[in-house]
Amino acid sequence: MSPELTWHSLPNDNVNVSGLTQALTSTLPQSNWCRLTEQQLTAVPEAVANQARFPAGVALRFYSDTPALHLKLTVNSPSRGAGIDVMVDGMLWRTLPLEPGIADIAVFTGLSAEDRLLEIYLPGNQQVGVEQLGIAPHSVLRAASEKPGLPWVFYGSSIVQGAGSALSSVNYPSVLSRQLGVSTLNFGFYGAGKAEPEVVNEILKVAAHTLIFDLGKSFGRQDASVYRDMLQQACQTQPDAKRVCITPIYSLREHYDPRFRAFSESLRDTFKKAASEVEETILIDGLELLGPEDWACFSADGLHPNEWGYTRIAERLAAHLQSSAD
């Protein structure tokens, strides 16, 4: 039997939505929890638009003493393994898988009435909209504080979006956000992260503290000038933002496939060359974030990290950025 609940529609001043730009949070629910606006979706390639409809890195953050919590959702695509992650006071509690359709899901019931920080991470590879949040009558509901400063903006492919992780809360931008207490925006677009000028233009409309470019294998065999032009575009548009380039991390396939290893090494050389041609660009060797010795940090496909791998990337990236600031 479902408990009696008081329902709160979203957006709501008492619920902080992180991982979306102000233009998107202010137009919920019409913006459908996408990572790009409707106008932006029409300005970018279809493959990018399709991935942008998945709310990677988006979380609801609030405090409540409710003994029961429900969510009313609209799920518009099938599950790809990850679901909604529920974090309580900074600790992962459970993951809730989602099936297509309109759903009323019980996040929890029967807890003691204690004030808790609740963070609900939406899946990074499934199209989901949150319509309402239900709590016990007379329970407290107040928004978690905004994380200070301009956001750290990540642009890339499947590694940024979190492919290979079974936890929506464990893509490396989200882990880094919790570690450093900064806000992050995840513009990972699976295999569609290719540095197209029209895509970069839309991403650079967000004023950023730090711009992190992690395109990986999806960049393909394009010339170094394409990557260099992306960095110069960022330099001209946001001269005060810190610019960070990450070369491709290791993948297990490099160990047994010489052609794939050669391709990966050529990409690393391409990114290094391009970054060297744009002043004040911080270059981070992806092999120092996840290398051959980290074989246990990969998912079953051998290409993408698992939860442990993404956590390790975030920890090592934070250390690199700290050392570059010293």
Q: Is residue 41 part of a domain?
A: yes
Q: Is residue 249 part of a domain?
A: yes
pLDDT at 128: 95
**Tokens found for residue 137:** 């009558």
Q: Which residues of 175-213 are buried (b: 16+ CB within 10 A; e: fewer)?
A: bbbbebebbbbbbbbbebbbbeeebbebbbebebbbbbb
Are residues 308 and 223 part of one domain? yes
Are residues 196 and 56 part of one domain? no
- Whether residue 192 is predicted with pLDDT greater than 70 in this model: the reply is yes
Are residues 187 and 138 part of one domain? no
**Mean pLDDT for the chain?**
95
Are residues 171 and 305 part of one domain? yes
**Tokens found for residue 267:** 């990409």
C-alpha to C-alpha distance for 287 and 323, rounded to whole angstroms = 17
Q: Residue range 298-310: average pLDDT?
A: 97
pLDDT at 189: 97
Are residues 260 and 189 part of one domain? yes
Q: Which among 86, 112, 143 is the end of a domain? A: 143
Q: Is residue 103 part of a domain?
A: yes
Q: Residue range 171-175: average pLDDT?
A: 98
- Tell me the pLDDT tens digit for each residue of 212-247: 999 999 999 999 999 999 999 999 999 999 999 999
314: CATH: 3.40.50.1110
Q: Is residue 1 part of a domain?
A: no
β-pair partners for 94: 86
pLDDT at 325: 62
**Of the listed ranges 53-57, 144-148, 197-201, the one predicted with least confidence:** 144-148
Are residues 224 and 304 part of one domain? yes
Are residues 85 and 223 part of one domain? no
Are residues 311 and 164 part of one domain? yes
pLDDT at 36: 97
Q: Is residue 252 part of a domain?
A: yes
User: What percent of the chain is modeled with pLDDT above 70?
Assistant: 98
- Listed residue (239, 25, 45) closest to 146, CA to CA: 25
Q: Residue range 6-17: average pLDDT?
A: 95
- Whether residue 324 is predicted with pLDDT greater than 70 in this model: the reply is no
Three-state DSSP at 314 gives: helix
Place 138 in a pLDDT band, splitting at 50, 70 and 90: very high
pLDDT at 76: 92
Place 322 in a pLDDT band, splitting at 50, 70 and 90: confident
Total number of domains constituting the chain = 2
Strands (E), the chain: 6-9, 16-18, 59-64, 69-75, 84-88, 91-96, 101-108, 116-121, 128-135, 141-143, 152-156, 184-188, 210-214, 242-246, 281-284
Are residues 159 and 75 part of one domain? no
Q: Which among 143, 175, 194 is the end of a domain? A: 143
15: CATH: 2.60.120.260
**62: containing domain:** 6-143
- Tell me the pLDDT tens digit for each residue of 59-114: 999 999 999 999 999 999 988 888 999 999 999 999 999 999 988 999 999 999 99
Place 1 in a pLDDT band, splitting at 50, 70 and 90: very low
pLDDT at 30: 80
Are residues 167 and 85 part of one domain? no
Are residues 131 and 170 part of one domain? no
- Whether residue 169 is predicted with pLDDT greater than 70 in this model: the reply is yes
pLDDT at 154: 99
- Whether residue 278 is predicted with pLDDT greater than 50 in this model: the reply is yes
- Whether residue 144 is predicted with pLDDT greater than 80 in this model: the reply is yes
Q: Is residue 94 part of a domain?
A: yes
Please answer whether residues 275 and 284 qualify as being in contact, where contact means their C-beta atoms are separated by less than 8 angstroms.
Answer: no
Q: Which among 117, 143, 169 is the end of a domain? A: 143
Are residues 98 and 202 part of one domain? no
